[in-house]
């Protein structure tokens, strides 16, 4: 399959590398002028947990193919979009007239209505998924972890032939696939959980500090639990997503210890959290959930108390 990754961020590089190693053709669309900045290769250091739960260390100079234009008559089979949630509308508008005959995999965090956000894209050519990977970019290189599962979803329907083909692509590339039929509810649930965890990260000065302490993890759990009424007010069926909240429903003293044990046992998870460095994305995640809570009249005192810590990180616009 011929694949174009939109951008050359952490998620694009980690999955682009995995898909190319599985035999697919992978290129990256970057903004004009960025190809010279990035250069022909990316230093890549990751834990690849597709085959082993603790991850296989990979350290390599991976040669990438970058392009700075995207004509409407391109011959890509798949476009993969994973950008900051607050950039997605801009990207969807840009791609709207450039999709061609390709499938677009929206591999993205979103707090707005996902189908409305993707309205500029041809609806019959969109597939929905979510990465299970993370890391950071520094010095021109990428450091992170790549997990063995990828999430996919629909809006109450069976996957289309295009969506099935995308799932098969990831299976054939060594990933397990998990399905969700309430993709809107799953995305919003994940976003709210992230906001709670990010908020505690700001309180404790970094996500890495949160996972080092049972006491801090207890506060993180309380942060997340506070946001459940926001999801209910948005119409999310929390019972349908009970598995996503299981650890947060435990008594905080128990949930925090379970969390701590999970991070101690799973090295790739520690690497992903330790390497998280996108403070603007985290701040916007917290700000968006706080704004929605206020709009809906749902009190979120813990998140509101953290606002002075993340609000200064929000870039204008």
Angle in degrees, CA 261, 264, 267, rounded to 5:
135
Residue 306, burial from CB neighbour count under 10 angstroms (0-12, 13-18, 19+)? buried
**Which pLDDT tens digit goes with each residue over 1-23?**
999 999 999 999 999 999 999 99
In this predicted structure, what is the pLDDT of residue 271?
Answer: 87
> What is the token pair recorded at 77?
């089979």
**Which pLDDT tens digit goes with each residue over 64-104?**
999 999 999 999 999 999 999 999 999 999 999 999 999 99
**Which pLDDT tens digit goes with each residue over 219-237?**
999 999 999 999 999 999 9
Q: What is the pLDDT of the chain when averaged over all its residues?
A: 95
| Mean pLDDT of the 247-252 span | 94
Under the banding of pLDDT at 50, 70 and 90, the label for residue 140 is confident
Q: Please state whether beta strands 103-107 and 126-130 pair in parallel, antiparallel, or not at all (unpaired).
A: parallel
pTM: 0.96
Partner residues linked to 56 by β-bridges: 48
């Amino acid at each position: 399959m011929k694949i174009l990754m939109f951008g050359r961020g952490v998620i694009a590089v980690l999955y682009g590398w995995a898909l190319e190693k599985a035999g697919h053709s992978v290129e990256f669309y970057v903004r004009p002028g960025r190809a010279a900045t990035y250069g022909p290769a990316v230093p890549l250091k990751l834990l690849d947990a597709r085959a082993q739960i603790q991850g296989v260390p990979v350290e390599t100079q991976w040669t990438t193919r970058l392009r700075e234009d995207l004509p409407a008559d391109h011959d890509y089979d798949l476009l993969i979009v994973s950008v900051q949630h607050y950039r997605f509308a801009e990207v969807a508008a840009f791609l709207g007239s450039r999709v061609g005959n390709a499938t677009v995999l929206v591999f993205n965090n979103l707090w707005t209505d996902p189908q409305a956000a993707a309205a500029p894209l041809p609806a019959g050519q969109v597939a929905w998924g979510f990465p299970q990977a993370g890391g950071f970019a520094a010095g021109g290189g990428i450091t992170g972890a790549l997990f063995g599962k990828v999430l996919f979803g629909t809006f109450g329907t069976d996957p289309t032939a295009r969506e099935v083909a995308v799932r098969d692509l990831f299976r054939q590339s060594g990933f397990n696939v998990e399905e969700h039929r309430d993709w809107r509810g799953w995305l919003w649930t994940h976003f709210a959980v992230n906001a709670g965890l990010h908020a505690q990260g700001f309180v404790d000065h970094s996500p890495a500090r949160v996972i080092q302490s049972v006491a801090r993890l207890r506060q993180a759990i309380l942060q997340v639990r506070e946001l459940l009424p926001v999801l209910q007010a948005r119409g999310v069926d929390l019972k349908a997503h009970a598995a996503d909240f299981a650890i947060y429903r435990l008594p905080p003293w128990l949930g925090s210890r379970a969390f701590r044990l999970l991070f101690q046992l799973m090295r790739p998870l520690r690497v992903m959290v330790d390497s998280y460095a996108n403070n603007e994305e985290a701040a916007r995640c917290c700000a968006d959930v706080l704004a929605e809570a206020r709009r809906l009249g749902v009190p979120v005192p813990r998140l509101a108390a953290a606002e002075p810590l993340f609000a200064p990180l929000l870039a204008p616009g």
